[in-house]
Structure 1
Amino acid sequence: MTDHDYGDLAGAGFGDFELSNLDQALFLIQEYDLEAQLIAIRGVLSQNRAARQLVIEDIEALNEQMRNRTGGDDEYHMHMENHWADTLHGTVFQDAAHSMSAVGMLAPFVESLFVSIFSGLRTRQQHDDDNHRTRGVRRARSETDFWDPHFVFDKKVRRKDLVAGIGQLSASVGLAPFLPANCDKALTALFAYRNKMFHNGFEWPMEERHKFGKRIENEAWPEGWFTQSNTGGEPWIFYMSDDFIKHCLKMIDQVLHGVGEYLEQGRSEQT
């Protein structure tokens, strides 16, 4: 929302009208219905958790059935054990499918969110004659390059790197202090996992499994962000944990509120 929009509200008799930080952020990127998208994403994630819980309950019921069964037909008992093993094996891939579903919704949403934010800031600058381009090497670039977070720049080179581009552009326009702490770490982990899953599927080449496990350690990502299953003493499948999914959803909310706070501060400085 630009200062002209506030003026229109005041002129319509809403002089005391106050917008929350979230409202201001949503007005900035009003071309997209982010709230409806988030509701849909949360709904699918909830359905996936419910489906996983049903499988867990089935496994527990099979365990109980085998524990309580004594004597009887050995062939039937073997059948029950095989059924239990097959069900347990299936959860490995069901959990992987749920992880791919989660990262497949969250990563594009987050990318679209930041692209929309910077597009809105660019439009706002044009309407308000408020030039944000005051910091860093990006200011020497064209208008289109400056506002594109998919790229990061040094004095001579343009390099494609979404996370670094978001960080550099946020710093250039003064948005960085309003973003959540360790936002760059969460973005790096989210997009790294997205790339692995969408290029390699559920079962990655062994070399890629070891690389990702090492990256978790080297970049000090929180221990609970990713879990893994193992086979033969080697990593098998990596999962995006419920904790990391919740962290990403919380980060999205914090980004929106931070953008609203940033806009409010800018408006206050102009009055």
Structure 2
Amino acid sequence: YVYLTYEEHDLITANTQAVTHAAFLSMGTAWNCSGYFPWEEGTYVRGIETVKVNIMLRIYSSKWHVYAGLAILNPSAKVQIHQFAQSATDLFKLMIKGDEEGLRKRVYRARDIVFDGEYREGIRKEPIILSEKMLDQFSLARKMSGAASTLYDDASTTGSNSHLALLTMVDCWAELSIRPFQHLELLATPIFRLLIGVAEYLFRDTTRLDAAIHTATHDPTHRSDDVEYVIAARGWSQCVSFGSFELYERRFKETAMFFEHRFADANKLGAQMIKAILEGEQPGGIRN
């Protein structure tokens, strides 16, 4: 047994559920406001993008009140979701200024706080996400195109991404001195495990992380999506801070309606993806 005070329980629950959900809710709201399905445009179809899209759709295919209660009724959730929105805003300001060095300094600081201690202390041994090849098998782009073994081959599928959502999540943890791997051991949910997994996959590879930082400050390809993401994150934060279940329901259902005819395929692939990742296996039982 692990004994927790109610404050500790609220803090951990806020991190493993409420702010985790806010990260993916903001993705859905951003894509809804942009008016397109990312996997059909060839921009979010491979690797860790597959996790982000599938989890976002999984959340929006569920009932709004499940997530509303976790966010609005938990005081710690309000603090964390507010910081998440603030982190998104702060990072985006560095991006639009083209301040690559400033962004790198802040992102590296967050990486060192959140990840390095876990490895030094031996808490983390094996990464949660083992390969992008495994993740590619669960891409909605493959499902929609009917391809048996390939995804889109154009440059947009392999180009860099700013990964603002992941940079924001890790920055939020760092700013609040949260150690997510400890929470993973105590009150893990599949969605929280996958969020840590994709964040770890990005942050533990310096080449991959530097590419995201450079893209964020110099490549405008995803800039419009990043704008929408920051606006969405702030909107969800305000919704939670107001304590309005009515506003939460409206925001949730508007985005869910945009994606609803994609839920069947997404939930099937998402369930298979979660099972494969949590078991450390590829489809067919081949262990990485």
TM-score bracket for the superposition, by shorter chain length: under 0.3
TM-score normalised over the length of structure 2 = 0.24
When you count helix as a share of all residues, which structure comes out higher? 2
TM-score normalised over the length of structure 1 = 0.25
By relative contact order (CA 8 Å, sep 6+), the higher-ranking structure is 2
When you count strand as a share of all residues, which structure comes out higher? 1
